[in-house]
Amino acid sequence: MSKPTVAIIGASTDRQKYGNKAVRAYLKQGYDVYPVHPRETTIESLPVYPTLEEVPVEDLDRISVYVPPEIGMSLLESIREKGANEIWFNPGSESPELLARATELGVNVIQACSIMDIGESPSAMHE
């Protein structure tokens, strides 16, 4: 059986940021993790993809979003196009406008902390 897959939009090299904690949490839980960031090349020893379109997986299990709502809004079409079973808008990444637009586009919106959902605690993830 293949591992579950996740793309992390807003992945970070900064181990204090949730975009990095998510990468580590998903790795710990056995996911194939695809960090997405326009300027980074490696995060936690993983190759980074500059855009969601470049993630080499056709049907992701989930996409976890860690960018501000104004950036997320500009990525909604790409998120819809990429397709994933679940789209997680983590605290701080959502706004009423973004959630409304995502729903209009038919995106399966989940508004919650995806790290907690997989059984990890962000606050327990120290450097």
CATH code of residue 23 = 3.40.50.720
Whether residue 1 is predicted with pLDDT greater than 80 in this model: the reply is: no
Q: Does residue 73 lie in a domain region?
A: yes
Report how many domains make up the chain: 1
**Span 101-121, mean pLDDT?**
95
Q: Which structural domain, as residue segments, surrounds residue 58?
A: 5-118
Mean pLDDT, range 118-127, rounded to an integer: 86
What is the pLDDT, as a whole number, of residue 101?
96
pLDDT surpassing 80 at residue 84: yes
The whole-model pTM stands at 0.95
Question: Which band of pLDDT confidence, cut at 50, 70 and 90, is reported for residue 2?
Answer: confident
Residue 89 pLDDT exceeds 80: yes
Residue 127 forms part of a structural domain: no
Amino acid type, 22: A
Mean pLDDT of the chain: 95
Taking residues 100-124, report their average pLDDT.
94
Q: How much of the chain exceeds pLDDT 70, in percent?
A: 98
Q: Looking at the domain assignment, is residue 26 inside a domain?
A: yes
Residue 13 lies in a domain: yes
pLDDT of 126 over the 90 cut: no
